[in-house]
Structure 1
Amino acid sequence: MKRLFSAVLSFIVFAGLFTACTEPSSNQNNSGKELNKSQIEILQAANPEKLPQAAKDRKDTLIVGTTAPQGTFNPIYSGSVYDSRVCSLIFDGLINNDAEGNPIPHAAEKWDISQDGKTYTFYIKKGIKFSDGKELTAEDVAFTFTAMCDPNYDGPRTDAVMYLEGYEEYNKDKENKVKEVKGIKVIDPYTIQFTLTEAQAPAIWNFGYGILPKHYYGFEKGNIQKLKDLFLKPMGSGAYVLKNYKAGQEVVFEKNPDYWKGAPKIKTIVMKVTNANTVVQELTAGNVDIDAVGKPEMVELIKQAGFLDIYSYPANSYGYIGLNLRDEKFKDKKVRQALMYGLDRKGFINAYYKGNGQVCNAPVSPVSWAYTDEINTYEYNPDLANKLLDEAGWVKGEDGFRYKDGEKFTIHWMTYTGSKYVESLIPILKDNWGKLGIEVIPELMEFGTLAEKVYDKREFEMYNMAWSLAIDPDPSGIFAFAQDVPGGNNSVGWRNEEAENLMKRGLSEFNQEKRKEIYKQWLKIANDDLPYLFLGYNKDNVAVSCRVKGVNPSPYIDWTYDIQNVEIIDIE
């Protein structure tokens, strides 16, 4: 439901877990795989009295460490988890999810689903107001989803609207003859109806994106640039409003005293930019109240501080290397498989995570009900890697490097600064692939710059990021053909007809066991054809100051969840 990423992560697909059933019905609210709470370890602060004076003196301000947001503060455009967290403070969607991954009402007090599974009717709560005092109505919801259907919309949310009735007619209409999307119907000020061309199991999760006020963002069809012009001046109905943004430094929010769920208990929130080199110091000095902590040795330092609670749980995410499959040298599957066999992923994961991670071989997390281990594990095998490269026509020259048609096998690897993960991966990858005869040239840059090059401009040969995944395992929001556009999630350009058809089947199957079998077939294709070079899974470790109460992170929720109820207490 959010495009999240964490210290090593990059983007997510908006989706969530839908019920396993033969027919959809009203307010379905069951998770396909209940969260195993025993997997969540909570280490309580041993010595709260050690809380630094700097934190004690900060009575009404919560400071949260973050990787730098890109400044795309619009829920239908936000591309990183950090921008999405900004949006979650400012905007409200029709639905949300609970800690177990069930869809729950939010701006909509309830919803109905027709017997054929194609029509969703939402009943909006009365009295919800945007931060300028104007009431949120069905017209604002219709405007938000119509914007995602616009012919010039170039954000990553197309998968949320592409199956609406009338989407194609509206989206392909460049002459402004089609004035509305047939499948979006305002019934009255507090009731809105969405009709799909076909029933889809995870469709409920398409309705969690933050609602844009029409009176503020309104634009003529085709002139969607207005939304982009307001990225840094967002307005929503959320618990907080944006007060200040300093790129690469911080985002400052003040509470919305008229928030419809109740005035937030904390006046000011600051998202402060940290990195692997500063996070421990910022946390232990009391300068930051909440932040993700990566390596186990960092966790030990946090424990020693004594005043920080630590939440540890399996991450609903995976790390990967993306290759531009439009590039001739990566089009051959044998080359991609050789790169997998030729990288000691297990050695890297064990060395970096020290028992808190495992090798990933397919694009789904072990916390998902769709996970399977009945796939190729690509154990480190340099001999097989060399054989595959030979078969692909990449031959070693006298200088030890591989060549094909006179071209040296060189990979320019774009990655991001301020990451211990990246710093650890670079020498291993260069060494392993260097022994295969491949020259690797790392090019480090700020994360926001990397994201722009990869997703918007698609100007790269190779990059590494990680997906923080949604609750529902539907992979189409990342890998569908429709996402292979500038700004879309399929930045690598993976196009596999069989995989595409299986994704469509998975969307339309409501029986979870049958759906799981479809995704098992899909995962086997992904594991063989390798849209990505998969790296690893890890545990998330989130440090929370003992002065902060009401934050309970888990695989499906983060610190922004029910932020209006989070509070700061005095520690003597």
Structure 2
Amino acid sequence: MFKRFNVKLAFLIFILLLGITLAACNSDTTSDDPSNDPEESTENNETENNETEEEEEPANDEPQMGGDLVGAMDTAPAGVFNPIFYEEAYEANILDFTHEGLLSQNENLEFEPNLAHDWEINDDNTEITLFLEEGVTWHDGEEFTADDVVFTYKSIASPGYIEAGGVRTEYVDKLVGYEEFVNGETDEFEGVVAEDDYTVTFKFAQPNVTILKDVAFSIIPEHVFADVPVAEMPEHPATLNAGEVIGTGPFAFTEMLEREQYVLEKHADYWKGEPYLDSVTWRIVDQSVILGLLESGEIDFIADPNGVPAADYETVAAQDHIEIIEQPDFGYQLMGFIHNHRTTEDAESGEINPDNWVANEDMSDQLVRQAIAYTIDRQAIVDELLLGHGSVINAPIAQQFWAYDDSAATDYSADLDKANELLDEAGYVDADGDGFRDTPDGEEWIVNLNYPTGNQLRERSAPILQQMIEQADIQVDLRQPKEMTAYVEDLTNNTEDWDLYLIGWSLGSGDPDPSGLWRTQDAYNFGRWKNEESDQLIADALTPPDAFDQSYREEVYSEWQGVFSEDLPALLLYAQNKIYGINERLNGVAPMPYGFNNDPHLWWVSE
């Protein structure tokens, strides 16, 4: 069965989201760690008569009810506010506040209770039964039940989901009866069953190594979407419109002035307790003025996806009323190589059929890809553009995971002699004496480099990459950058003459499995990389019984990282540190390794 993928335009680049649920689905997770609670004060406020008024006027370091918060993003969300269809980290900044999954993760990436307070897994890891919190209400007052869980997963498994732009089938494709259901052979989906209102069982066809990750996806309300065909969900008002998007989270999405601001108001009946804040407003602000607004107090925080630019770190740190939190990004930036192009017919139909792909002759030689990699001085980019607030990485797995193995991958440190040697070996020499290398057939060879607008660091790095590559006498056409929507559409269709592209991924925190990005038929495999050994290793790392042994998985992923770096679907450039800027009046913030928006019901402001 071939996949069909009709992209919903404009999902994140710099931190595109896993959605795949590489980022996206796991950025929903929050922690219930009590250490996040603000400390209680031991000081009292004095009146003019030296009498305490603790009840009327709480001490400044105790949580206070009320107050409004303003955060800033440099790019507007594309506008799909539905967990099973959204694709951007900008949209995740809304959904992190409005929707929740059955499980969450803590700072050690361990799974913890969330909408489900407990669970039981059978002996062979083919079934998990979760026991749901009672008394949880959706923003419209309806009760949350096991039927909502069944409906969410059934929607993702439904015929038409992929064609409508859905990319999160990794959460359902291991469930019992998925193939029969998605192919329309049956109307019953056996994989998820509501035992009663507060008990739900997931049944997997084979022992499942990632069983907890697979049941942690954000839940959507059945009573809102029950009569909506899956194909129509992306365009439904409850997906698009403020005031109609319904979740169980601590805040409801109530107002928006599209591409300008997005307002979230507290869900007073939130099941974990009434949020302290009255509202959180996201303002869309150009990067050129965003720091000035933080310094003036017009906005309260700059966080995901882009945070404070490294070049402005010292300026922001010097502000007495601003706190900085810095941590490694849960993802990476890359320069991708287009291995193959899709046909126009496949792009128009949304079909991903590797048998129809057309090789990109400019990038099809592995030696050429390796040579280009050796032209790039990645450490210089980290030092000069990131000012040291980041690191060079060689493996496409988040550094925070146990599976990351930098030593298993080829280290493409800048080596111009090596680059020239490989190009000569591949037959790319200057045949006509114009100073640039030609193809082995003696034809003019021009490599194009493509990138989107919206992120200043990436926009600054593009011409630097061009200059570095041209040091090996490779003629580079630095294309005019495109606005994100158009860029992603072209990259997804991939029917033109693209060679190199810049992109970034924010990875899901649930498991290091790279499925969704780097398998041949993955929708986000934009370079259309085909490598059977890679596909097999990714499968092996999830195949029981061996895969229940983490040391086995480490070995497999180490081997896979070696295959990846040798064949080079992409050159990993760097992992930029996340730099969050927070006004001192904002309290209770405790970011997780995978994101800033953790437990916002515990955030509070001191005026």
Q: Deviations over 1:170-214 (max 9, x none)?
A: 1122xxx51122212221121111111222322311222221111
Q: Deviations over 1:125-184 (max 9, x none)?
A: 1111111111111111111111111221122211111111111111122xxx51122212
TM-score for both structures, normalised by structure 2:
0.80
Return the letter of the residue paired with 2:251.
Y
Instruction: Answer whether contact 1:185 1:194 (CA < 8 A) is retained.
Output: yes
* Selected match of 2:437 from 394, 398, 402: 402
Return the letter of the residue paired with 1:226.
M
The equivalent residue for 1:188 is 196
Instruction: Answer whether contact 1:7 1:294 (CA < 8 A) is retained.
Output: no
* SS of equivalent residue, structure 2 residue 553: helix
Root-mean-square deviation (CA), in Å?
Answer: 2.4
Give 1:536 shift: 0.6
Instruction: Answer whether contact 1:294 1:541 (CA < 8 A) is retained.
Output: yes
* Selected match of 2:482 from 445, 455, 461: 445
The equivalent residue for 1:22 is none
| Identity value in percent | 29
Q: Deviations over 1:283-315 (max 9, x none)?
A: 111121111444444111112221011111222
* SS of equivalent residue, structure 1 residue 14: coil
| Residue 264 (str. 1) matches residue 275 (str. 2) | yes
Return the letter of the residue paired with 2:459.
E
Give 1:369 shift: 1.2
Distance across 2 between alignment mates of 1:520 and 1:379: 20
Return the letter of the residue paired with 1:562.
D
Give 1:518 shift: 1.1
* SS of equivalent residue, structure 2 residue 186: coil
Instruction: Answer whether contact 1:100 1:556 (CA < 8 A) is retained.
Output: no
The equivalent residue for 2:323 is 309
* Selected match of 2:504 from 459, 462, 466: 466
Distance across 1 between alignment mates of 2:104 and 2:485: 27
Q: Is the alpha carbon distance of 1:220 and 1:172 closer, same or farther for their aligned partners in structure 2, counting shifts above 3 Å?
A: farther
The equivalent residue for 1:533 is 571
Distance across 1 between alignment mates of 2:388 and 2:365: 34
The equivalent residue for 2:536 is 501
| Residue 84 (str. 1) matches residue 82 (str. 2) | no
Distance across 1 between alignment mates of 2:466 and 2:494: 26
The equivalent residue for 1:370 is 403
Q: Deviations over 1:237-266 (max 9, x none)?
A: 221222223343222111222222222211
* Selected match of 2:337 from 323, 337, 344: 323
Instruction: Answer whether contact 1:117 1:200 (CA < 8 A) is retained.
Output: yes
Q: Is the alpha carbon distance of 1:185 and 1:456 closer, same or farther for their aligned partners in structure 2, counting shifts above 3 Å?
A: farther
Distance across 2 between alignment mates of 1:409 and 1:568: 59
TM-score for both structures, normalised by structure 1:
0.85
| Residue 11 (str. 1) matches residue 17 (str. 2) | yes
The equivalent residue for 1:562 is 599
Distance across 1 between alignment mates of 2:267 and 2:399: 38
* SS of equivalent residue, structure 1 residue 111: strand
The equivalent residue for 1:545 is 583
Q: Is the alpha carbon distance of 1:187 and 1:519 closer, same or farther for their aligned partners in structure 2, counting shifts above 3 Å?
A: same
The equivalent residue for 1:197 is 205
* Selected match of 2:70 from 51, 60, 63: 63
Bigger CA radius of gyration: 2
* Selected match of 1:520 from 558, 580, 583: 558
* SS of equivalent residue, structure 1 residue 198: coil
Distance across 1 between alignment mates of 2:104 and 2:500: 35
* Selected match of 1:510 from 548, 573, 579: 548
* Selected match of 1:249 from 260, 264, 267: 260
The equivalent residue for 2:158 is 150
Instruction: Answer whether contact 2:323 2:583 (CA < 8 A) is retained.
Output: yes
* Selected match of 2:248 from 237, 241, 246: 237
Q: Is the alpha carbon distance of 1:122 and 1:216 closer, same or farther for their aligned partners in structure 2, counting shifts above 3 Å?
A: same
* SS of equivalent residue, structure 1 residue 476: coil
* SS of equivalent residue, structure 1 residue 330: coil
Give 1:68 shift: 2.3
The equivalent residue for 1:114 is 122
Distance across 1 between alignment mates of 2:301 and 2:71: 5
Within 5 A, what are the aligned runs for 1:454-493?
454-455=491-492, 461-471=499-509, 472-483=511-522, 488-493=523-528
* Selected match of 1:420 from 446, 456, 461: 456
Distance across 2 between alignment mates of 1:457 and 1:92: 34
Q: Greater CA deviation, 525-534 or 379-388?
A: 379-388
Q: Greater CA deviation, 291-300 or 192-201?
A: 291-300
The equivalent residue for 2:288 is 277
Q: Is the alpha carbon distance of 1:330 and 1:357 closer, same or farther for their aligned partners in structure 2, counting shifts above 3 Å?
A: same
The equivalent residue for 1:385 is 419
* Selected match of 1:98 from 93, 106, 112: 106
| Residue 133 (str. 1) matches residue 141 (str. 2) | yes
Return the letter of the residue paired with 2:17.
F
Q: Is the alpha carbon distance of 1:458 and 1:307 closer, same or farther for their aligned partners in structure 2, counting shifts above 3 Å?
A: farther
Return the letter of the residue paired with 1:11.
L
Distance across 2 between alignment mates of 1:281 and 1:227: 36
Distance across 1 between alignment mates of 2:179 and 2:421: 47
Q: Is the alpha carbon distance of 1:141 and 1:239 closer, same or farther for their aligned partners in structure 2, counting shifts above 3 Å?
A: same
Give 1:15 shift: 6.0
The equivalent residue for 2:390 is 357
* SS of equivalent residue, structure 1 residue 169: helix
Return the letter of the residue paired with 2:463.
P
Instruction: Answer whether contact 1:170 1:181 (CA < 8 A) is retained.
Output: yes
Q: Is the alpha carbon distance of 1:184 and 1:426 closer, same or farther for their aligned partners in structure 2, counting shifts above 3 Å?
A: same
* SS of equivalent residue, structure 1 residue 152: coil
The equivalent residue for 1:431 is 467
The equivalent residue for 2:297 is 286
* Selected match of 1:332 from 365, 381, 385: 365
